[in-house]
Amino acid sequence: MTGPLSETLGYKFRDESLLRRALTHAGADSEGSNERLEFLGDRVLALVVSENLYHRYPHEAEGALTRRVHALVRWEACARIGEQIGLWEHLVLTRSEAAGGRARGPILGSACEAVIAALYLDGGMEAARGFIEFERERRATIAASHLEIKGSLALGDFTLTGVADRIDILNDGGCAILDYKTGAIPTLKQVEQLLSPQLPLEAAMLAQGGFPGIGKRIAEDLIYLSLASEKLARAPRHIKDAAALAGEAVAQLARRIAWFQEQSTAYRPRVRPYRADIAGDYDHLSRVREWSPSGWSEE
């Protein structure tokens, strides 16, 4: 349950029990519920928002700043963020609560605050602030979000399948595809050279209507995000020229498929390595380490 949500958050919890508690509503487990975390998360959220407003409006008086905080730190805003990150599917609820209805919004809002508290307790203010500020900045531009959605792309007899972490439909009709990382984010060069082709290929799927319920759309932005540190959270990696990259990624994949359809083509463990010190996905099949007399240094 917590694994997929950790990937969506772009943060790997050291103590996953915090996230499990954050997702547990009082109706399902009164003793292990998220109510205490909700209390803390509300205060963490208020502090982050207050700090942001303090710097954004340096000449406003206390009263004006207080009114701004009260307008922003509301369960309705947290519920919208909860919807955007697909929080509802991960909650532990009673059968009647799971049916949704009028209670869905408040439950989502409370759970979102609890998740903020879990991030704060596990990773400090950096992790919590990174999540809050990224979602706050994007919220006004988004018409709808699709989380962990399966897609496909047919290339002759070959069908490429994948799962997009998140696709945002923007208010102007454009799209952005997001990939959450719990570790290192691919460099711009790695993506442009298609050493990390995941998001360009997802953009190709999107352009061909490969994601059910979204239709054919052009990705304007490809975004990698990690909450592993405040520094990473404050600097999501935006990949522009998504349409051009998508076209080149499909062309390269089509050439690769044709290449492997030739009987003389060998299945090499590393077609285009860029780090000799990192194990390849298929090294164990070709016994790369075993046949390397000095480890990785002579590969």
Q: Please report, for the domain that includes residue 236, its CATH number.
A: 3.90.320.10
User: Residue 15 catalytic?
Assistant: no
Task: Name the percent of the chain lying above pLDDT 70.
Answer: 87
136 in a domain, yes or no?
yes
pLDDT at 240: 83
pLDDT at 198: 93
pLDDT at 61: 94
pLDDT at 241: 87
83, 117, 140 — which closes off a domain? 140
Q: Which of 127, 106, 137, 176 is nearest to 6 (CA)?
A: 127
On whether both 48 and 160 belong to a single domain, the answer is no
> Is a pLDDT exceeding 90 seen at residue 131?
no
140, 168, 199 — which closes off a domain? 140
282 in a domain, yes or no?
no
Instruction: State the distance between the two ends of the chain, measured CA to CA, in whole angstroms.
Output: 40
On whether both 85 and 214 belong to a single domain, the answer is no
241 in a domain, yes or no?
yes
C-beta of residue 207 within 8 angstroms of C-beta of residue 218 = yes
> Is a pLDDT exceeding 70 seen at residue 35?
yes
284 in a domain, yes or no?
no
Kindly state the average pLDDT of the residues 102-124. Answer: 91
User: How would DSSP label each residue in 127-194?
Assistant: HHHHHHHHHHHHHTTEEEEEEEEEEEEEETTEEEEEEEEEEEEETTS-EEEEEE-SSPPPPHHHHHTT
For 6-28, how does the pLDDT look when each residue is reduced to its tens digit (9 = 90+)? 767 767 788 989 999 999 998 88
On whether both 71 and 183 belong to a single domain, the answer is no
> Is a pLDDT exceeding 60 seen at residue 190?
yes
**In which residue are the tokens 């998220």 written?**
34
The pLDDT confidence band at residue 40, using thresholds 50, 70 and 90, is very high
DSSP annotation of 220: E
On whether both 171 and 223 belong to a single domain, the answer is yes
Most confident of 122-136, 143-157, 201-215: 201-215
The pLDDT confidence band at residue 180, using thresholds 50, 70 and 90, is confident
Q: Look at the pTM and tell me if it is higher than 0.95.
A: no
Q: Which of 113, 122, 126, 135 is catalytic?
A: 113
Q: 160 or 292, which is more confident?
A: 160
On whether both 48 and 164 belong to a single domain, the answer is no
On whether both 71 and 85 belong to a single domain, the answer is yes
For 61-105, how does the pLDDT look when each residue is reduced to its tens digit (9 = 90+)? 999 999 999 888 888 889 888 888 888 989 999 888 887 777 889
On whether both 165 and 92 belong to a single domain, the answer is no
Q: 133 or 234, which is more confident?
A: 133
CATH, residue 104: 1.10.1520.10
Outline where 61-151 has alpha helix (H): 62-72, 75-84, 95-98, 104-139
Tell me how many domains the chain contains: 2
C-beta of residue 79 within 8 angstroms of C-beta of residue 108 = yes
On whether both 16 and 106 belong to a single domain, the answer is yes
On whether both 218 and 129 belong to a single domain, the answer is no
In the sheet with 142-155, reading across from the earlier edge strand, the strands are 142-155, 158-170, 175-180, 219-225, 237-239
140, 156, 182 — which closes off a domain? 140
236 in a domain, yes or no?
yes
Range of the domain at 6: 2-140
The tokens describing 28, both together, are: 């399902």
For 149-174, how does the pLDDT look when each residue is reduced to its tens digit (9 = 90+)? 899 999 988 999 999 988 989 888 88
On whether both 151 and 135 belong to a single domain, the answer is no
pLDDT at 299: 40
User: Residue 42 catalytic?
Assistant: yes
The pLDDT confidence band at residue 298, using thresholds 50, 70 and 90, is very low
For 250-289, how does the pLDDT look when each residue is reduced to its tens digit (9 = 90+)? 999 999 899 888 888 877 767 666 666 667 777 777 666 6
Q: Which of 4, 26, 27 is nearest to 16 (CA)?
A: 4
> Is a pLDDT exceeding 90 seen at residue 44?
yes
On whether both 43 and 167 belong to a single domain, the answer is no
Q: Which of 42, 83, 122, 126 is catalytic?
A: 42
Q: What is the mean pLDDT of the chain?
A: 85
